[in-house]
A and B are shown apart, each in its own frame.
Chain A
Amino acid sequence: MNKNSKVVIIGVGNLLLMDEGIGIHVINELEKHKLPQHVGIYDGGTGGFKLTDLMHGAKKVIFIDAVETDKAPGTITTFTSKNVHSIYPKKKYSLHDTDLMEVIKMAELLDNPPEIEIVGVQPKIINYGLTLSKELRDAMPDIINTVLSRIEEVCSVPGYGFLSKERS
């Protein structure tokens, strides 16, 4: 992994809350694939505002996260912060309920913010547990293909690196 990757993929969520950890499960799966050297892959866990530190120097950041979209479990929705209604600032009593959109809003305040998009996956079960629901396990190949396709598309744009011929 290149420390100053131009393209950064970050999976986020809590591994201990079943489908909430989908982003981390996807990162673990992606690590089995050979990706271009300038593509960084990170397990962002429940880093909250710490996540902005994984984006430094990147031109493009793709997050993978569980997103409540009222669609069928496993449904993949790719979007940017511009696609969603602003519900921020939201009231909070604890830093522990920071969600990804707040992190993205914060990152966009910085100088030269990267382009950010989210690959959102509709969860089925969010409760204590280390495994994914069946629906999300079944959706995993589609999610991986979606992310790999986005990486390839992004890397084919001049300035973002190279078209990945290295990927197995």
Chain B
Amino acid sequence: MHDLNVDINHITRVEGHGNIVIDVKGGKIRELRMDIIESPRFFEAMALGRTYKEVAQITSRICGICAVTHTTTSIKAIESVLGFEPSIQTIRLRKLLLNAEFIQSHILHVYFLTAPDFFRVGSVFGMVKDNKDDVLRGMRLKSLANDLCALVGGRHIHPITLKVGCFSKSPELKDIAAFKKRIVESRSDIDVTVKFFKDLKTPEFERETEYISLTSPDEYALYGGSIKSSDHNGETAPVDYLDRIKEFIVPHSTAKHAKSNRNSYMVGALARFNNNYEQLHPKAKAAAEEMGLKHPCYNPYMNNIAQVVETVHCFEDSINLIDDLISDGLSDEKVELLPEKGRGVGATEAPRGTLYHEHKMDDNGKITYANYVIPTAQNLANIENDLRSLIPQVLNKKKEEIILDIEMLVRAYDPCISCSSHLMKVKFVNE
């Protein structure tokens, strides 16, 4: 096939967002564009005038899947303004909560969005007939992570105990200890998950790109660290994030794109895997080997396998964090921070990649400037470049197979569409 015309309309309720347009004529790509996110500037506008204590409650609502990361990053930006470093206990609890979000998000992504493609069943509901045990395993693991989120964050969805300075309420030690037992008992589900994804054949495709993630000398960086690009030897402090990444507007989209050394870069599980492989838990490395994920990897479809690897890592890291919390004991902390005028940046790894929140506030603690750089904004140009490279390689396939390859690639990233209304449109049976 030398001609291809694909126009995928993604349904979002906010006008002007949501297309993948590909036009190939005579084997040449004439048009390829993707516009499936909103501009975060609307959320930034909502933050203005809010106090430093309440702004995280707004950002928590940007995304139901990554609410912990948005809240944490918002708080870290405020603490950056104030030059405040939380206690070890608070940092451990934040890391535990972040692990819970990574596990639930990755599990949902790989079981509910990615796996159905391998069985050609259209959606997770199509897997129920022949793969119900697999769906239920995904549900169990997702529930485990969400229950951990509720235990530490106070709620299953949109956490409420995360505050500037410390947690408003610490979990009970006995509950944390009991939860460790649950995580340990669920290792068997993780083992089967690794075997399940090992058997699924990921499309073969390679395109090396620039990989950007946080990095830390102490650990596999999720909660914090400095910014690392695979194109550079040095690292960049989060507060200088605009020295490393440049946001720009493209003509076809109101969404901000981002670039660094090249005209696109990748963030997310595969970028972290490539940048920080050595610091993965040994069990996570073993899972990578079992599933055929070799370091470094330049196949964006393998992002989902990297997510399974990170899920293993987060499982083991959570057990270690709980051991540390039990060993040192938990106390109810009280931290009262007074406002100060200044600028601060928070950077945290979200499941889909590095998330930056920049805040400026005045003497009264009112937010006067906000800039949020979400992972999907950073990945957007990279997805387009992946598609530009992929399409000429698959043009000899049938159109429906090409479309599936394209869709699978987009789903491998799972673009965040925070502006996507979850509104149901129903048609009643008796109408």
Contact = CB atoms under 8 A, between A and B. Distances in A.
Interface in A59-88: 65-69, 79, 82-85, 87-88
A12 B422 contact: yes
Contact of A85 (B132, B410, B428): B428
Interface in A28-74: 42-54, 56, 65-69
B178 interface: no
B429 interface: yes
Chain A interface size, under 10 / 10 to 19 / 20 to 34 / 35 or more: 35 or more
Nearest to B143: A53
A139 interface: no
Contact of B422 (A97, A106, A128): A97
Nearest to B125: A89
B157 interface: yes
Interface string A91-123: 111111111111001100110000000001001
A94 B427 contact: no
B411 A126 contact: no
Contacts of B113: 92, 94-95
A85 B156 contact: no
Nearest to A123: B423
Given A93-B10, A96-B420, A83 B429 contact: yes
Interface stretch (B63-71, B186-194, B360-368): B63-71
Interface stretch (B84-92, B104-112, B230-238, B276-284): B104-112
Nearest to A56: B143
Contacts of A42: 156-157
A53 B156 contact: yes
Contacts of B425: 67-68
Given A97-B417, A128-B46, A48 B422 contact: yes
Given A51-B157, A89-B125, A67 B424 contact: yes
Nearest to B127: A89
Contacts of B135: 109
A15 interface: yes
- Listed residue (A17, A91, A123) with the most chain B CB atoms within 10 angstroms of its CB: A17
- Listed residue (B58, B146, B157, B425) with the most chain A CB atoms within 10 angstroms of its CB: B157
Nearest to A15: B61
B36 A50 contact: no
B415 interface: yes
A127 interface: yes
- Listed residue (A68, A95, A100, A101) with the most chain B CB atoms within 10 angstroms of its CB: A95
Contacts of B417: 94, 96-97
26 contacts: A14-B421, A14-B422, A17-B419, A17-B421, A20-B421, A43-B155, A46-B422, A50-B64, A50-B146, A51-B157, A53-B150, A53-B156, A65-B423, A67-B423, A83-B428, A84-B428, A89-B124, A89-B125, A93-B20, A94-B36, A95-B65, A95-B109, A96-B414, A99-B424, A110-B139, A128-B46
